[in-house]
Amino acid sequence: MTITTPKKWRPRNQLFVTALTAALSLTILEAWGQTEDPAAVEVKTAQSAQAIGPETDPAETREPVSISFDELQLFADTFDAIRRGYVEEVTDAELFEMAVKGMLTSLDPHSAYLTDDGYSNLQESTEGQFTGLGIEIGYRGGFISIVTPIDGSPAEDAGLQAGDVILKIDGTSTQGMSTNESSTYMRGPEGTNVTLEIGRAGESQPLDIVVTRGVIDVPSVRSREIDSGYWLIRVSRFQRDSGKEVADALLDALEKGPVNGVVLDVRNNPGGVLNASVEMASNFLDGGLVVYTQGRHPESKTVLEAEPGELLPDVPIVVMVNGGSASASEIIAGALQDRGRAVIMGTRSFGKGSVQTVLPVSETKALKLTTSLYYTPNGRSIQAEGIVPDVVVERAQLTSLEQGRRLREADLNRSLKNTAETQASETEEMASLREDDNQLYEAFTLLKGINVYKRIDAKRSQVTTSELAFPDQTPEEVKALNE
């Protein structure tokens, strides 16, 4: 059965079209005039931001709504046909909300219409505590996909992996579902379960994985000393205070002794607050450009620079990235790579190079709209390309070919003893990394190699024949030469 809008309804629809045109114009003007939450998403302003080009009054650059009367008439006819003919009653308010959601979700995977729950969820995630599964999600092939599980989250404990596709949530298909809608399905009281049907590469059949919801309260920054003077700084996501937390971790390391090298690990870090990545970069750069953004609206064009005064001048740095490193993670990796401040190691990153802005349209609703792309200091766009590491190291399971303890000269009966001090072997932390995380092991090996070469290069330019050991020197004199 086909329902056609009678001609007698056309005058009424034309009034509707006129009212809609006026409403669209007013909404666009008011939305850009609102103040956006500076930490809700990767926003387009920061204290260190400078406008690109001369400041322009947004009112002078606003374009009139260019939609034609015929296009609005099509919308009005469709709206009216659904309202009168759909099998179940749908209110005008519900239809308008569906239309807005459809416009945004059709643009790109990151634009969305935020209602009360969606907006509060977005704010909670940047504050570092919320109740849910603990996953960063995206959109792939019409379904919801997992960009990465958050460190220490229920999702990670349940075995969810980056790249998994969520086919169903408690039996409800996610096909065509927006990321905001899927988040609502997955949120719930602490301690309750949700069953996810997962499609995973290498598996012939979908997997049913039960995840128990919990309070996601994981510190965004953790640090530990892997070897003498070699530190691991793990950043799981970019929250309001992540930049300061990294600074505190580096200062604590300096208090314990000289720092010989740092691995900044942003693998499986989905991003977060843009300003936090700029603040974090200030710990490793002595001022200068970190990232700039460009979009169609004048307010979307900004330059973000590091504060002068890096904490670890001349200390070698390795940044670890992988396919789960997105957005703010790619900003700091790209900045340190372009500025020649760090070696990037791992695998190609996710490739999210867009910035979302929250535009309130009422007291309870807002648009999360992609408003600009960001660019690294060399002018590279990361969008859909990602950061390509300087040294590619795939995650792998390594097995030592030297099984067990091998016989050495010192083990032989009546072997001559060496009176020199025994040189230290690798620490237990390094030995465990070789088996548990080969990528980190290679990163610390590279840092040590950089420092070894620095010492070799310094010796080559400084050592003279008179400084070399002679046969008649005592062990103490030889030791002094090597200090």
The mean per-residue pLDDT over the stretch 396-422 comes to: 73
Give the chain's mean pLDDT: 82
**Highest mean predicted confidence (pLDDT) among 5-9, 176-180, 265-269, 297-301:** 265-269
Q: Is the pLDDT of residue 51 over 60?
A: no
Local confidence band at 414 (pLDDT 50, 70, 90 cut-offs): confident
**327 is known as an active-site residue:** yes
Nearest in space to 118 (alpha carbons), one of 442, 462, 366: 366
Q: Which of 301, 352, 368, 448 is catalytic?
A: 352
Question: If DSSP codes are grouped into helix, strand and coil, which group holds residue 14?
Answer: helix
Nearest in space to 110 (alpha carbons), one of 148, 128, 136: 136
Q: Which of 157, 248, 338, 437 is catalytic?
A: 338
List C-alpha distances in Å: 115 to 94, 216, 237: 12, 22, 24
The whole-number pLDDT of residue 269 equals 93
Distance CA 38, CA 441 (A): 37
The whole-number pLDDT of residue 420 equals 65
Query: Where would I find the beta strands (DSSP E) of 218-276?
Result: 221-227, 230-235, 261-265
pTM confidence score? 0.72
At the topology level, CATH places domain 221-392 in 2-enoyl-CoA Hydratase; Chain A, domain 1 (3.90.226)
Q: Name 271's Cβ contacts closer than 8 Å, sequence gap at least 6.
A: 42, 136, 237, 238, 277, 326, 327, 328, 329, 330, 352
The mean per-residue pLDDT over the stretch 256-266 comes to: 97
**338 is known as an active-site residue:** yes
Cα 147 → chain centroid: 9
The whole-number pLDDT of residue 433 equals 85
Least confidently predicted of 13-17, 64-68, 238-242, 385-389:
13-17
The whole-number pLDDT of residue 90 equals 94
What are the structural domain ranges in the chain?
1-33+64-106, 129-216, 221-392, 426-481
Q: Which of 178, 220, 300, 327 is catalytic?
A: 327
The mean per-residue pLDDT over the stretch 308-328 comes to: 96
- Residue 149 token pair: 């599980």
CB count within 10 Å of CB 321 equals: 31
pLDDT per residue as tens digits for the range 346-391:
999 999 999 988 888 887 788 999 999 999 999 999 999 999 999 9
At the topology level, CATH places domain 129-216 in Pdz3 Domain (2.30.42)
pLDDT per residue as tens digits for the range 95-130:
999 999 999 999 998 999 988 766 666 655 555 567
pLDDT per residue as tens digits for the range 52-84:
333 445 445 555 556 677 888 888 899 999 999
